[in-house]
Every structure is written in C-alpha cells, then in structure tokens.
Homo-oligomer: A and B are copies of this chain.
Amino acid sequence: MSADTKNAKGSGREAPLVRRATPDFRWESVAHMPYKEEGSAPFKAISRQILHSDPDLAGELRYFEMDAGGYSTLERHEHVHGVMIFRGHGHCLVGDTVYEVGPHDLVTIPPMTWHQFRATRGEPLGFLCLVNVRRDKPQLPTEDELNALKADPAIAAFLSR
C-alpha cells in the first residue's frame, strides 16, 4: 500500500499512523515548538510538542520539556491537566503545595488551581499533559495574587529556585 493510504488522508489525519521516537525526546512528524522568551515572559527554557491531536479525539496529549533551570508559566484555568512526568526530576506547585516529582509520577491540576513546573535538579524536566481540546485560556496571577502565594515560605522558595 502507499504511504498516502497509511496517512489516512482525507480523514483530517495528515501525519503517518506510526511516528517514531527520535533521540532526545523528539518525534518524527511532530513539530518542536520552543516558547519565545520576550520581555517579561513568565516562563523559561520550555518547549512543546503535540503528540496526539486528532479530529476525532476530545483530548490532546502534549509533551512539554524544560531545560535545567527552566520553568513553565505560573497560571490557572478552568480546564484540568492530567500530567505524567516523563523525564527528569524537579518540583511542581499545585494549589498551595510544592511537590518533588520524578519519572512517571502522575499530577492532576484541578480547575482554577495555580500551578507551575520547575526543572530544579540540574537536568531537563519533561512531562506529558492531557487536556481537553476545548478549553479556556490560562490566567496569570495579579501582583496581589502572586504576593498571597509568596506569603507561604515554601512557595516563595519554590518560585525563586
């Protein structure tokens, strides 16, 4: 059969049905999207790869990776994240608790819960993240909300790592 058929063209599926993992946590036919750090970008040294996004799937599976010292955006939103740590060790904030995390740990981010991941251990930290395709936009903390979070010494220490 032809490669075209295997791509299931005409179905909205442009990618091959099997996409190989390549070295260093990348994949064939998956765009590697580093986030641009401009001015006051509230994240650092993080990239995104969308692993599964399909017209017939209500969820998407993404892979985020931070370089050592990098971090995701501190944010909250109505939609839920279903996370699995995929490589490396680091810390995450979920609500008012800071957790140490390592490979294959599962993290649930409930609605409207402040959260951030940080590659605090001198190595890259990568995680899979399941979300709904239909979702609201993230909210960033106001200065007052950020100060309220920092009133907790553990959170203040986490945010300054």
Residue of B nearest to A58 (CB): B58
Give the residue among A11, A19, A56, A60 with the most B Cβ atoms within 10 A. A56
Assembly CA distance A19 to B82 (angstroms) = 11
Query: Does B17 contact A51, Cβ atoms closer than 8 Å?
Result: no
- Copies of this polypeptide in the complex: 2
The yes or no answer to A103 lying at the interface (CB within 8 A) is: yes
Q: Known contacts A61-B84, A105-B19: does B110 contact A13 (CB below 8 Å)?
A: yes
Contact of A6 among B18, B52, B97, B101 (CB under 8 A): B97
* Interface residues in A80-95 (C-beta closer than 8 Å to B): 80, 82, 84-85, 92, 94-95
Assess the B110–A11 pair: CB atoms within 8 A.
yes
Which partner residue on chain B sits nearest A108 by CB separation? B17
Q: CB of A130 within 8 A of chain B?
A: yes
| Contact status B108-A54, CB under 8 Å | yes
A80 touches B57 (CB 8 A): yes
Residue of B nearest to A53 (CB): B82
A25→B101 CA distance, assembly (Å): 16
A106 touches B (CB below 8 Å)? yes
How far is the CB of A60 from the nearest CB of chain B, in Å? 8
A108/B13 in contact, CB under 8 A: yes
In this assembly, does A146 line the interface, its C-beta being within 8 Å of a C-beta of chain B? Answer: no
Does A45 make an interface contact (CB < 8 A)?
no
B52, B57, B111, B131: the one within 8 Å of A106 (CB): B52
